[in-house]
Amino acid sequence: MTGAGRYAPSPSGDLHLGNLRTAVLAWVLARRSGRAFHLRVEDLDRVRAGAEQRQLEDLAALGIDWDGPVVRQSERGGAHAAAIADLQEAGLVYECFCTRREILEAPSAPHAPPGAYPGTCRDLDPGAQEAGRARMAQLRRAPALRLRAGVDRASVHDMFAGTVTAAVDDLVLRRGDGVVAYNLAVVVDDAAAGVDQVVRGDDLLTSAPRQAHLARLLGLPVPEYAHVPLAVNRDGARLAKRDGAVTLRDRLELGESAAQVMGRIGDSLGLPGCTSAADVLARWDPAAPPDAPWVVELPG
């Protein structure tokens, strides 16, 4: 196999239908292109007991398989630390002493998205840095580590959206609580697994340029991206557990089979009659991707 795709859920709860549809599409695009398909559990933050095993079982019930062992992001700390050390050696890392509130209340640069880091701590003199460290000690937290990005915008190519250009700020590499940040972990872990195709929800489309920029700074390859529309409720909000019986297990408890749930996913892609991921693999045309969110309306 050449290259790999992947699916990388967070074990914070059961996967809902939108998550499962994205997993199916990631698997189909990898298998269709002769790639391996990997599964990575992104467990650096929220972890609910038993969620990982349930997620794996749900993916398998829809006919999704994967190559090699499941990788857990929490076990990749050495690689994450080595990447930060490489960036530090290149002079691309600085300490940040700002609180979340201070960042949100700080004036942003022109055209920067809300919440973008304004560079407050980027060029502090040694005295200000010492004062910042003393303040962090009083707050009983360490300074965050940020990337000296050196650019304010970057571009990537997306299989469905074409060229995507978005803002890049001095993103966090390691948080004040010592946990490595998502943007660093995902870049390092994808490269280590040989992932050169990333399929995920289009809520992350504008994150792709910053992750690609970070990959380039680390000397890592930039994957091919394919962002797909989200599943939403009838009000247009992202599908969530509060919207009712939206997980596979919910549907099973209401008497549906895994094949029927897969049929719902197939219907959302214009492929009636699907009973497993293999049916989508055989019938879905990536040249005609879904171009609008999937409005999920379920009985029960």
Distance CA 103, CA 117 (A): 6
Place of tokens 């340029």: 209
9 is in an annotated binding site: yes
For 294, list phi and psi in degrees, rounded to 5. -85, 115
200 is in an annotated binding site: yes
Is 225 annotated in some ligand binding site? no
94 known ligand binder: no
Nearest to 230, CA basis, from 17, 27, 18, 6 = 18
**Which pair of structure tokens corresponds to residue 238?**
């992202």
Question: Is 98 annotated among the ligand-binding residues?
Answer: yes
Ligand-binding annotation for 121, yes or no, is yes
* Cα–Cα distance, 91 to 13 (Å, whole number): 39
274 is in an annotated binding site: no
Residue 241 assigned ligand-binding role: yes
Per the annotation, does 95 bind a ligand? no
Cα–Cα distance, 137 to 114 (Å, whole number): 28
Is 10 annotated in a binding site? The answer is yes
Buried b (16+ CB within 10 A) or exposed e, 41-74: bbbbeebeeebbebbbebbebbbbebeeeebebe
Asked whether the beta carbons of 154 and 213 are under 8 A apart, the reply is yes
User: Is position 89 annotated in a ligand binding site?
Assistant: no
Q: Which of 21, 66, 13 is nearest to 262 (CA)?
A: 21
DSSP per residue, 11-34: SSS--BHHHHHHHHHHHHHHHHTT
Alpha-carbon dihedral 20, 22, 28, 29, rounded to 10 degrees: -170
State the binding site.
Answer: 6-10, 42, 96, 98, 117, 121, 182, 200, 241
State the binding site for Zn(2+).
Answer: 96, 98, 117, 121
State the binding site for ATP.
Answer: 241
State the binding site for L-glutamate.
Answer: 6-10, 42, 182, 200
